[in-house]
Structure 1
């Protein structure tokens, strides 16, 4: 009984570390978009400087997961939860990397006035934020309904991505002198689209954890 209780406590610790990593990535994304909108180069640099924390958190999660598998020999749902935690940590860390990429693009744009309002980019970010928050809730609560809703929100990001890229391509024809900025804004859109894909991966991992079967929620 004591051994089982200790195992459950360690599983909870693993879950909490994953939520901490998720909150870190949410914060990094928020700061990167704020830096872009306000042209705050110092804030963009901070996003880059802090990224090492995400790497360390992912390492902690992997180390704890491996330790649990090696020492506790978990079965069924517990084993799936541990395996899924490793996979989700990787996806969340990639989202933090995309925040860094957005910060780098912001630095490359510099103080140059934005060629167009970034409302679509902000909307893509808002959906990303909601998706990741809900995906983490789905994992925490074993809730496949919330996981499915995450995948549905990904379609909104895809639509916004396609629409915004078309607008940027048209702007490139009208203002070819702004090619450098248009390129960076296109990259930022792509980073947000890819971040949403990784969050959809998290939703798929939740399905696997709960159902024991793999589902492709991207189609």
Structure 2
């Protein structure tokens, strides 16, 4: 098999591994919100246990990328593709960590009835999930147009986060007995907001990959 063809197959495998890690992280986020909304402690514990799989997938991506560099000795744009892939894997793995953090918040809240429906939180999750799916697509297709859309979606998550926090603070003033739960819910909002930020980092990495410079959102 020609060297170039072998290298292209390696890049495709790297993309597949990143896509798999992204899908795992998206599912973990959805499951963490499900556990929170339904007060499912067993599911929350399962999410925490499954984080070891995300760590393993992340390590596999790093090892594979390093091996690809060592064996193929890529230069210029090809080397940049691999390095960007490693950086993106770091952002995706961090998103999986936020799902674990939400699961831990669920355990701390326990069986206590939620002070309010988590409508804004679920909307933040929906947007963040879509952002991550688009970010992975943008990387695989090296599409900066898709990458630019993600910044606008991140602004929407920021807006929802601010609105949710304001509501929680108002409830806290009126119901001080729920201050501990409200604190945990505020952290959940923060975790989703940070997940969206890491997804925006992926979009920035895609722009750097294609254009060779960083994009000022």
Residue in 1 aligned with 2:37?
Answer: 37
TM-fit CA distance, 1:216: 3.3
The answer to whether 1:205 aligns with 2:205 is: yes
Residue in 2 aligned with 1:135?
Answer: 135
d(CA) in 2 for partners of 1:114, 1:183: 12
TM-fit CA distance, 1:170: 0.8
Moved over 3 A (4+): none
TM-fit CA distance, 1:65: 0.9
Residue in 2 aligned with 1:195?
Answer: 195
Q: Secondary structure of 2:57's partner?
A: helix
d(CA) in 2 for partners of 1:61, 1:214: 24
Q: Secondary structure of 2:115's partner?
A: coil
Across the aligned residues of Structure 1 and Structure 2, the Cα RMSD in angstroms comes to: 0.9
d(CA) in 2 for partners of 1:148, 1:7: 28
Residue in 2 aligned with 1:126?
Answer: 126
Q: How does 1:1-219 map to 2 (within 5 A)?
A: 2-217=2-217
d(CA) in 2 for partners of 1:206, 1:54: 22
TM-fit CA distance, 1:123: 0.4
5+ residue gaps in structure 2? none
Q: Secondary structure of 1:108's partner?
A: helix
Deviations 1:100-144 (A, max 9, x none): 000000111111000011000000000001100110110111110
**TM value normalised by structure 2:** 0.98
d(CA) in 1 for partners of 2:163, 2:68: 46
d(CA) in 2 for partners of 1:26, 1:42: 19
d(CA) in 2 for partners of 1:21, 1:134: 14
d(CA) in 2 for partners of 1:30, 1:182: 20
d(CA) in 2 for partners of 1:82, 1:187: 34
5+ residue gaps in structure 1? none
d(CA) in 2 for partners of 1:26, 1:76: 32
**TM value normalised by structure 1:** 0.97
TM-fit CA distance, 1:215: 1.5
Deviates more, 1:103-112 or 1:4-13: 4-13
Deviations 1:31-87 (A, max 9, x none): 001111111111111110000111111111111111111221112221111000000
